[in-house]
Amino acid sequence: MLDAQEWIGQRRLAYMPLVLTADEFPPVDTLLVSGAVRTDEDLYRLRAASKRAGELIAVGTCAISGGVANLGDRDEVRDLFFSAMERRHVPRLLPKLRPVDAIVRVDRYLPGCPPMPHLFMLALFGSPDTRLAASVCIDCGRKKTKERPTQLRGLQEGLPDPGICLINQGYLCIGASTRGGCQAPCTKAGNPCVGCRGPSDSFISRSSDEWFNAIRKVFLRMTDIPSEEIERELHAPHLSLFVFQFADYTVTTRRPEQVL
């Protein structure tokens, strides 16, 4: 939001702990909440601030689904954290990390890691009738070809062609099922989409298995890469930071018009 300027003069930044010193929660028209609820301090601040807000917007992957911080809910990560006895001066961790809407009512969602500046402006000033691109694939605009790669390529294996679809070049890109609107800066620069904006409208209320099946079908249709290889890479650590979040979207009902 601080990278955008359109809000200056139209909105006043009344409370932001990392920028402004504030001991009290002022009444606000719009409360933008970033980050998940991990500690007792997070829980207190969220509940207190939400009571004084006209509307609440969950901002970013962590606020919406737990994001990278959700890795802390894995048993091996928690065991590693608590095994270090010198960690005594951190806020008390809650038993489990929670997205914002598990604690308070959320009016709208602004996904991304992080959301682009123009999306912040859309959340604050945009028309309810505004429609973003259905998927990152549409935002990207790379040309699809008849090339059918037989194996996946790693990011270290040469430079991708700047005009050709990354899937046609053998990269594991999941932009076809990821929410658009970001203007695809990653894929346009040659980096495969990893799903940080969450599922597109057609997958918000569907199971994570359906989303994974859709990705598999894209690669079966466009490549000759063995399905076992696709399956293995979809669950690899470098994608798991974002891909596992898709399961959370089926826990809380979110209407497509709520998600920018």
| Tens digit of pLDDT at every position of the chain (260 positions) | 777 788 888 888 888 877 766 678 889 999 999 999 988 889 999 999 999 999 999 999 889 887 777 766 666 666 766 666 565 666 677 878 888 999 999 999 999 988 999 999 998 988 767 788 999 999 999 999 999 999 998 766 778 999 999 999 999 999 998 999 999 999 999 999 988 888 888 877 777 778 788 888 999 999 999 989 988 888 776 666 566 566 565 556 667 678 88
* pLDDT value for 27: 93
Sign of the alpha-carbon dihedral angle for 165, 167, 171, 176: positive
* Start-end of H helices in 141-207: 185-188
Instruction: Report the amino acid identity of residue 81.
Output: F
Domain 28-125, classified CATH 3.40.718.10, yes or no: no
* Start-end of H helices in the chain: 40-50, 60-65, 75-82, 117-125, 136-140, 185-188, 208-222, 227-234, 237-243
Beta bridge partners of 108: 57
Residues 81, 220: Cα–Cα separation, whole Å: 40
Q: Return residue ranges of the chain for CATH 3.40.50.12280.
A: 28-125
* pLDDT value for 131: 82
Q: Which residues lie closer than 8 Å to 8 by C-beta, 6 or more apart? A: none
Residues 122, 221: Cα–Cα separation, whole Å: 35
* pLDDT value for 233: 85
* 26 upstream amide cis, omega within 30 of 0: no
* pLDDT value for 181: 92
